[in-house]
């Protein structure tokens, strides 16, 4: 009979290997899924994980890795701070949308003026928008102990309606012949989030993501606030006895994750997406939850997890056009990854022992 025995301390070795185990398990069961859909599983897996990096058209796909990974990493870094302390912001999608609306709105307010300060103002506006949206659940939790999970999630639906309203109303392109959607920021140089190195996919948002990784690392390892976050998550009782202020922690974690999600939205709307439109958001805010866990809530882990997840997005698109694999299959594939990740975590905290049944 199998029996679980709690480890006195989480196993370090397993903490590092379980993400790889989860990815392998997902590939295996994902392969089965693709087989059930009538595709060659090995070909499908290779298309998703190999083609974008080393295939024939890799020169086109590699920059996409940064374009898609940037927002995922930026959002996931913010989320991981809260998740570490048991503060669950799952409404990053909403903060992402509001950040994009505020950023684009701030830029378009200056149209058609050209000036160097417009883009920095947009960055501030985007971060502010996301921050405000996240402060709603934060303040409600601090003041009324309202569940931040439900409130932040409800605000995603509110933000989606706000997005629709903006692209049909206030921010609608006056020269757009009545089509919904704002002016395209690609045609407005002062507000356009240009690639820093042409053809690399490296835009200002990706740079911001890398900076966020470094900041989070320093915060968690070298700073008192980061220590409080880790203490609250790992030993809530000890945190209560030491001088950790829970309200401050909630405001900081939710606020930071909101601001980073808002930034991600702003960089996306001013760069790769180009405009505010009804279907602007594609679920980065939710996928970032998977990224945060896949990276084991560690900044460097999240960096790699974000790139891997970006790979599944790109590979999924290739598989969609080349093999006719349904787009939803990739979404399912990503969900599966989170499942396996949570399941194999068992090995980190418990030892599995084979015991012979004794006579009672």
Partner 1 sequence: MDFSAINPALLLASLLVAATPILIAGIGELVVERAGVLNLGVEGMMITGAVTGFIVTIETGSPFLGFLAACAGGAALSFLFAVLTQLALANQVASGLALTLFGLGLSSLMGQGYVGLKPPASPKLDLPLISDIPFFGTVLFSHDAVVYFGFALVACVWATLKFTRVGLVLRAVGENHDAAHALGYKVVRMRILAILFGGACAGLGGAYISLIRVPQWTEGMTAGAGWIALALVVFASWKPWRVLLGAWLFGGVTVLQLNLQAAGFAIPVEYLSMSPYIITIVVLVIMSADKSRAPASLGRPFHASS
Q: Could you say whether residue 320 binds partner 1 (CB under 8 A)? A: no
Binding string, residues 96-135; x marks residues near partner 1 by CB under 8 A: ----------------------------------------
Instruction: Figure out which of the listed residues 61, 131, 293, 313 binds partner 1, where binding follows CB under 8 A.
Output: 293
Pair 120, 110: CB distance under 8 Å? no
CB of 78 to partner 1, least distance (A): 16
Residue 351's SS3 state is strand
Shortest distance, position 215 Cβ to partner 1, whole Å: 24
Closest residue by Cα to residue 158 from 100, 93, 250: 93
Q: Is residue 158 within the footprint of partner 1 (CB under 8 A)?
A: yes
Angle at 67 between CA 62 and CA 70, to 5 degrees: 120
Kindly state whether residue 324 participates in binding partner 1, applying the rule CB under 8 A: no
Q: Judged by CB under 8 A, which of 162, 282, 318, 323 binds partner 1?
A: 162
294 binds partner 1 (CB under 8 A): no
Contact range with partner 1 by CB under 8 A, out of 20-28, 51-59, 233-241, 331-339: 331-339
Of 57-65, 177-185, 310-318, 325-333: span binding partner 1 (CB under 8 A):
325-333
Distances in Å between the Cα of 88 and the Cα atoms of 72, 175, 301 are 17, 42, 19
Q: Which residue of 1, 6, 38, 222 would you call a contact of partner 1, by CB under 8 A?
A: 6
Which region, judged by CB under 8 A, interacts with partner 1, from 110-118, 176-184, 228-236, 287-295?
Answer: 287-295
Tell me if 104 sits within 8 A of 119, measured CB to CB.
no
| Residues 92 and 157 sit within 8 Å (Cβ to Cβ) | no
Interface with partner 1 (CB under 8 A), residue from 131, 284, 286, 313: 286
The Cβ-side half-sphere exposure at 133, using a 13 Å CA radius, reads 38
Q: What distance in Å separates the CA atoms of residue 74 and residue 292, rounded to the nearest whole number? A: 10
Contact 149, 246 (CB under 8 A): no
Asked whether position 81 contacts partner 1 by CB under 8 A, the answer is no
Least distance CB 191 / partner 1 (angstroms): 25
Q: Under DSSP, is residue 350 helix (H, G, I), strand (E, B) or coil?
A: strand
29-45 exposure pattern, b = at least 16 Cβ within 10 A, e = fewer = ebbebbeeeebebeebb
| DSSP string over 24-41 | HHHHHHHHHHHHHTTS-H
Interface contacts to partner 1, rule CB under 8 A: 4-6, 88, 90, 136, 140, 144-147, 149-151, 153-155, 157-158, 161-162, 164-165, 168-169, 286, 289-290, 293, 326, 328-336, 338-339, 342-343, 345-346, 349-350
């Amino acid at each position: 009979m199998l029996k679980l025995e709690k480890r006195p301390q989480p196993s370090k070795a397993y903490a590092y290997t379980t993400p790889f185990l989860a990815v392998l398990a997902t590939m295996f069961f994902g392969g089965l899924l693709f087989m059930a859909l009538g595709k060659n599983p090995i070909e499908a897996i290779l298309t998703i994980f190999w083609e974008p990096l080393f295939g024939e058209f890799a020169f086109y796909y590699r920059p996409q890795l940064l374009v898609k990974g940037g927002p995922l990493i930026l959002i996931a870094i913010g989320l991981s701070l809260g998740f570490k302390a048991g503060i669950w912001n799952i409404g990053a999608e909403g903060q992402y949308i509001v950040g994009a609306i505020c950023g684009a709105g701030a830029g378009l307010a200056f149209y058609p003026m050209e000036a160097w300060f417009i883009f920095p103002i947009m960055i501030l506006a985007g971060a502010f928008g996301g921050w405000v949206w996240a402060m709603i659940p934060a303040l409600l939790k601090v003041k009324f102990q309202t569940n931040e999970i439900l409130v932040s999630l409800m605000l995603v639906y509110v933000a989606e309606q706000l997005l629709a309203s903006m692209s049909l109303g206030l921010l609608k392109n006056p020269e757009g012949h009545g089509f919904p959607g704002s002016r395209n920021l690609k045609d407005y140089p002062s507000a356009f989030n240009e690639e820093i190195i042409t053809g690399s996919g490296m835009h200002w948002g990706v740079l911001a993501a890398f900076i966020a990784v470094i900041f989070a690392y320093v915060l968690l390892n070298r700073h008192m606030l980061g220590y409080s976050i880790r203490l609250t998550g790992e030993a809530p009782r000890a945190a209560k006895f030491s001088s950790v202020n829970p309200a401050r922690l909630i405001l900081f974690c939710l606020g930071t994750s909101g601001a980073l999600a808002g930034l991600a939205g702003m960089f996306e709307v001013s760069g790769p997406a180009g405009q505010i439109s009804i279907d602007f958001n594609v679920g980065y805010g939710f996928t970032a939850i998977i990224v945060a866990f896949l990276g084991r809530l560690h900044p460097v882990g999240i960096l790699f997890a974000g790139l891997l997840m970006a790979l599944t997005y790109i590979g999924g698109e290739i598989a969609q056009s080349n093999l006719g694999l349904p787009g939803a299959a990739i979404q399912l594939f990503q969900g599966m990854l989170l499942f396996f990740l949570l399941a194999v975590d068992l090995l980190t905290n418990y030892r599995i022992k084979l015991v012979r049944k004794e006579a009672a």
